[in-house]
């Protein structure tokens, strides 16, 4: 065990030297200074789970996969291990503790009804390899969700299997690639506007396309003229985030789609921000050919470390034949079938392949379907309205103290964008973000989108109450006031967090991503010492 | 030797057929602390405007575009261990790579120091 407080934790509840400020443990009350798990372990100790020695000689069948040395894992008992991770979790910030205003992330409340439904044994305790006849209820839930997604987006089909937004982007681009190959063409360029999500160019490159950037106009939208000028026989498609990362609706979307289609390309829409328009706008009406929907954003399934993502991709009639296997269909007798490779030749001959081993994230499907059914069509429309209302409330409550680059252009969509342009020299977006930690909030998204200098992107979501938003606004107004007054203490914020301002530059330049101490146990015994031949 | 600038905040020092490329002091001040510089391979050829390098900072990863077409002849090896050189001396020891120019006439499209200063002043 290391000396107490070896890592230099600064007590949050009093200054060093203050009466009662020092403790032998290094902890302060219930504020824990938690060592690394390697520091907790007794050197050389091996604990955990006792396994019986295998019966018979298993060594021949292990062959070269037999471990040559004991792995250098820390030896802790089960309660020690549980306490370690529970203590760490208490230092974390979560949507269940307070607002999480990360722009572009849609950190909304995860309704407990979703959790109750996801835990029903018929959804939670089944296995992907069970005969389809024994999991009809689960397949029906997938099929119902698929139908909702197709209906809400006005599209022709949906690929349910992608496991997250970027995985969905890849799925959409692979559909586009397959469609172009089926036409006997070789288009290799994907156009990505500056206002698109950062994952878009990475996805296009990963799918084997060349990426070309399209500039944004002064009011934060795609430059239609520049896009038109760039279209041609080598352009496979365009990836547009709508609403975009400036929190603005791409009002030229239909004109963009028409131009891209006329040039023989396809339109991929990044639907990460669909929560701003669900029930209001059908992307199919805007000429979109493929769009992923982040179930973990628009439809309230947990994310940000709280659970796996899920990114179904809705597809136009032109792209649906190329979607991945497997997918559900309702047969004439009312049962649901999962179309797999053995059926593909007859029923889905042009599909590009698979995105996942099985049918996708069942737990996320159940939660998303619960959210949809508990809101209903009118409730989903109100989700979009309230998300936009909340964002505009934040925008207009702060635009007199923080510069809002597109504030004069009218209302925003689901997120409010500010910059540090108006702050005095030396005061930056980072200082406001760190100050927000002292105020007891998770910071907003900073320095993104890149098209705005010192961007601060705030997405309140529809699940924050007015009173909750007022508390966040009050803190942000106070921080903006301190920055404008040149308050030097803001430069050293956070003051009340377990760690003061970290050296992010050093962490990025010289990252130490693994345990740097001695391997534990110090001298691993050979396997023969602990049994086994 | 003459120095030219791009609207994307690269500079190129030209001496005969050879050019030395870096990012401007204004660019490094906007990017913040540079954490990593991904340099091209020696011998790689690029056209004017092609992405030849990537500079990572605490704020963003930024593409570095070729001011003019050419073939890379040398890279600044010191940046592998000390990317902070770009912050300390963007227009000196923090140079990125050297190129053999494909067509010196392309330099005409670039700005001189006076024009670049005026350009930055308006940003």
Q: For domain B2-100, which CATH number applies: 3.40.50.1000, 2.30.42.10, 3.40.50.2000, 2.40.50.100?
A: 2.40.50.100
pLDDT of residue A532: 45
* Mean pLDDT, range A107-123, rounded to an integer: 96
Question: Using the beta-carbon criterion (under 8 Å), do B33 and A453 form an inter-chain contact?
Answer: no
Can you list the pairs that A125-129 forms with residues at least 24 positions away whose Cβ atoms lie under 8 Å?
A: A126/A362, A128/A357, A128/A358, A128/A359
Residues 6+ apart with CB under 8 A from A316: A155, A156, A284, A288, A289, A290
* Mean pLDDT, range A244-252, rounded to an integer: 90
* Mean pLDDT, range A254-282, rounded to an integer: 96
* Mean pLDDT, range A330-337, rounded to an integer: 95
Looking at the complex, report in whole angstroms how far the Cα of residue B53 sits from the nearest Cα belonging to chain A: 15
Residues of B in contact with A509 (CB under 8 A): 33, 35-36, 83-84
Q: What is the largest CA-CA distance in chain A?
A: 80
* ipTM reported for the complex, 2 dp: 0.76
Q: Is B59 on the interface with A (CB under 8 A)?
A: yes
Across the interface, of A450, A504, A509, the residue whose CB is closest to B60 is: A450
pLDDT of residue A306: 61
Question: Using the beta-carbon criterion (under 8 Å), do A508 and B36 form an inter-chain contact?
Answer: yes
pLDDT of A104 strictly over 80: yes
- Under the banding of pLDDT at 50, 70 and 90, the label for residue A9 is very low
Percent of chain A with pLDDT over 90: 68
Residues of A in contact with B56 (CB under 8 A): 508
Identify the segments of chain B with pLDDT beneath 70. Answer: none
pLDDT of residue A196: 80
For residue B32, give the chain A residue with the closest CA. Answer: A505
**Alpha carbons A196 and A218: distance in angstroms, whole number:** 15
Residue pair A280/A271 in contact by the 8 Å Cβ criterion: no
* Mean pLDDT, range A165-172, rounded to an integer: 96
pLDDT of residue A216: 85
* pLDDT digits 0-9 by tens, A203-242: 999 999 999 999 888 888 899 999 999 999 999 999 999 9
Backbone dihedral angles phi then psi of residue B46, each to the nearest 5 degrees: -135, 150
Nearest to A363 by CA among A133, A116, A194: A116
Backbone dihedral angles phi then psi of residue A318, each to the nearest 5 degrees: -70, -35
Q: Is A508 on the interface with B (CB under 8 A)?
A: yes
Question: Using the beta-carbon criterion (under 8 Å), do A504 and B36 form an inter-chain contact?
Answer: no
Tokens, residue A135: 């999991």
Nearest to A297 by CA among A224, A375, A368, A215: A368
Question: Using the beta-carbon criterion (under 8 Å), do B35 and A505 form an inter-chain contact?
Answer: yes
State the sign of the Cα–Cα–Cα–Cα dihedral A397, A403, A404, A410: positive
pLDDT of residue A40: 86
Consecutive H or E run containing B75: strand B70-75
Q: Is B35 on the interface with A (CB under 8 A)?
A: yes
Contact pairs from chain A to chain B, CB under 8 Å: 19
pLDDT of residue A15: 53
Across the interface, of B36, B60, B83, the residue whose CB is closest to A447 is: B60
Question: Using the beta-carbon criterion (under 8 Å), do B35 and A509 form an inter-chain contact?
Answer: yes
Least confident residue range of A16-20, A175-179, B52-56: A16-20
pLDDT mean across residues, chain A: 89
Question: Using the beta-carbon criterion (under 8 Å), do B35 and A453 form an inter-chain contact?
Answer: no
- Under the banding of pLDDT at 50, 70 and 90, the label for residue A17 is low
Q: Is A453 on the interface with B (CB under 8 A)?
A: yes
pLDDT: is A10 or A195 the higher one? A195
Residue pair A281/A242 in contact by the 8 Å Cβ criterion: no
Q: Which residues pair with A457 in a beta bridge?
A: A417, A445
**Gyration radius of chain A's alpha carbons:** 27
Looking at the complex, report in whole angstroms how far the Cα of residue A420 sits from the nearest Cα belonging to chain B: 12
Q: Is A72 on the interface with B (CB under 8 A)?
A: no
Residues 6+ apart with CB under 8 A from A213: A191, A192, A193, A194, A201
User: Residues of A497-516 as b/e, b for ≥16 C-beta within 10 angstroms?
Assistant: beeeeeeebeebbeeeeeee
Looking at the complex, report in whole angstroms how far the Cα of residue A100 sits from the nearest Cα belonging to chain B: 21
* pLDDT digits 0-9 by tens, A57-92: 888 888 888 888 777 778 888 899 999 999 998 888
Question: Using the beta-carbon criterion (under 8 Å), do B30 and A447 form an inter-chain contact?
Answer: no
pLDDT of residue A325: 96
The predicted model scores a pTM of 0.86
CA distances from residue A111 to A116, A194, A299, A364, A463 in whole angstroms, order as listed: 9, 34, 10, 13, 10
Residue pair B19/B113 in contact by the 8 Å Cβ criterion: no
pLDDT of A404 strictly over 80: yes
**Alpha carbons A29 and A31: distance in angstroms, whole number:** 6
For residue A421, give the chain B residue with the closest CA. Answer: B123
pLDDT: is A528 or A71 the higher one? A71
- Under the banding of pLDDT at 50, 70 and 90, the label for residue A29 is confident
Looking at the complex, report in whole angstroms how far the Cα of residue B16 sits from the nearest Cα belonging to chain A: 32
Any idea which fold A155-370 has? 3.40.640
Question: Using the beta-carbon criterion (under 8 Å), do A505 and B59 form an inter-chain contact?
Answer: no
For residue B83, give the chain A residue with the closest CA. Answer: A509
pLDDT: is A409 or A442 the higher one? A442
pLDDT of A329 strictly over 90: yes
Residue identified by tokens 């913040």 is: B32
Q: Is B87 on the interface with A (CB under 8 A)?
A: no
Q: Which stretches within A485-519 are classed as H helix?
A: 504-509
* pLDDT digits 0-9 by tens, A37-55: 888 887 767 666 777 887 8
Q: Is B109 on the interface with A (CB under 8 A)?
A: no
pLDDT of A450 strictly over 90: no
Q: Is A218 on the interface with B (CB under 8 A)?
A: no
Question: Using the beta-carbon criterion (under 8 Å), do B83 and A509 form an inter-chain contact?
Answer: yes
Residues of B in contact with A420 (CB under 8 A): none
Q: Is B29 on the interface with A (CB under 8 A)?
A: no
Looking at the complex, report in whole angstroms how far the Cα of residue B49 sits from the nearest Cα belonging to chain A: 11
Looking at the complex, report in whole angstroms how far the Cα of residue A490 sits from the nearest Cα belonging to chain B: 18
pLDDT of residue A285: 97
């Amino acid at each position: 065990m290391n000396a107490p407080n070896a890592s230099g934790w600064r007590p949050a509840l009093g200054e060093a030297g203050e009466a009662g400020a020092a403790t032998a443990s290094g902890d302060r009350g219930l504020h824990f200074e938690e060592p690394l798990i390697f520091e907790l372990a007794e050197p050389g100790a091996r604990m955990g789970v006792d396994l019986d020695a295998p019966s018979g000689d298993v060594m021949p069948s292990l062959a070269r996969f037999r471990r040559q040395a004991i792995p250098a894992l820390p030896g802790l008992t089960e309660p020690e291990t549980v306490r370690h991770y529970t203590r760490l979790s208490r230092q974390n910030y979560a949507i269940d503790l307070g607002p999480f205003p990360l722009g572009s992330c849609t950190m909304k409340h995860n309704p407990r009804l979703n959790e109750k439904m996801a835990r029903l044994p018929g959804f939670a305790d089944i296995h992907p390899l069970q005969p389809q006849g024994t999991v009809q209820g689960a397949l029906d839930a997938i099929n119902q969700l698929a139908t909702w997604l197709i209906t809400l987006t006005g599209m022709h089909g949906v690929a349910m299997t992608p496991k997250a937004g970027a995985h969905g982007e890849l799925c959409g681009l692979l559909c586009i690639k397959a469609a172009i190959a089926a036409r006997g063409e070789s288009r290799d360029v994907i156009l990505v506007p500056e206002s698109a999500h950062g994952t878009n160019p990475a996805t296009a490159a990963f799918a084997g396309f060349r990426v070309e950037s399209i500039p944004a106009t002064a009011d934060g939208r795609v430059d239609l003229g520049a896009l038109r000028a760039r279209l041609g026989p080598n352009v496979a498609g365009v990836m547009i985030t709508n609403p975009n990362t400036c929190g603005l609706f791409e009002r030229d979307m239909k004109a963009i789609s028409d131009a891209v289609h006329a040039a023989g390309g396809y339109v991929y829409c990044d639907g990460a921000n669909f929560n701003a328009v669900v029930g209001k706008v059908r992307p199919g009406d805007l000429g979109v050919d493929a769009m992923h929907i982040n179930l973990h954003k628009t439809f309230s399934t947990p994310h940000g470390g709280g659970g796996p993502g899920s990114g179904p991709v809705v597809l136009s009639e032109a792209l649906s034949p190329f979607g991945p296997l497997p997918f559900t269909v309702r047969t004439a007798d009312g049962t649901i079938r999962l179309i797999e490779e053995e059926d593909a030749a007859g029923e889905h001959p042009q599909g590009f392949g698979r995105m996942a081993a099985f049918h996708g994230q069942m737990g996320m499907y159940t939660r998303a379907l619960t959210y949809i059914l508990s809101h209903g069509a009118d409730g989903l429309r109100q989700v979009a309205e309230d998300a936009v209302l909340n964002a505009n409330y934040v925008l207009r409550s702060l635009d007199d103290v923080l510069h809002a680059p597109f504030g004069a252009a009218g209302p925003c969509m689901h997120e409010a964008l500010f910059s540090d342009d108006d702050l005095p020299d030396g005061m930056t977006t980072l200082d406001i973000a760190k100050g927000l930690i002292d105020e007891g909030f998770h910071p907003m998204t900073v320095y993104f989108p890149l098209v705005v200098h010192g961007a601060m992107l705030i997405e309140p979501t529809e699940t924050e109450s007015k009173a909750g938003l007022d508390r966040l606004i009050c803190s942000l107004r106070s921080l903006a006031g301190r920055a404008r007054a040149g308050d030097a203490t803001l430069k050293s914020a956070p003051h009340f967090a377990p760690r003061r301002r970290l050296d992010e530059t050093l962490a990025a330049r010289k990252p130490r991503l693994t345990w740097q101490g001695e391997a534990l146990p110090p001298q691993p015994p050979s396997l023969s010492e602990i049994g086994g031949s | 030797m003459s120095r030219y600038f791009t609207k994307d905040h690269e500079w190129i020092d030209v001496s005969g057929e050879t050019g030395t490329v870096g990012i401007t002091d204004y660019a490094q001040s906007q990017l913040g602390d540079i954490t990593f510089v991904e340099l091209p391979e020696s011998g790689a050829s690029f056209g004017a405007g092609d992405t030849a390098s990537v500079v990572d900072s605490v704020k963003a990863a930024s593409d570095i575009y070729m001011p003019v077409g050419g073939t890379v002849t040398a890279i600044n090896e010191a940046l592998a261990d000390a990317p902070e050189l770009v912050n300390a001396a963007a227009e000196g020891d923090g140079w990125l790579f050297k190129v053999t120019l494909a067509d010196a006439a392309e330099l005409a499209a670039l700005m001189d120091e006076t024009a670049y200063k005026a350009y930055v002043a308006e940003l």
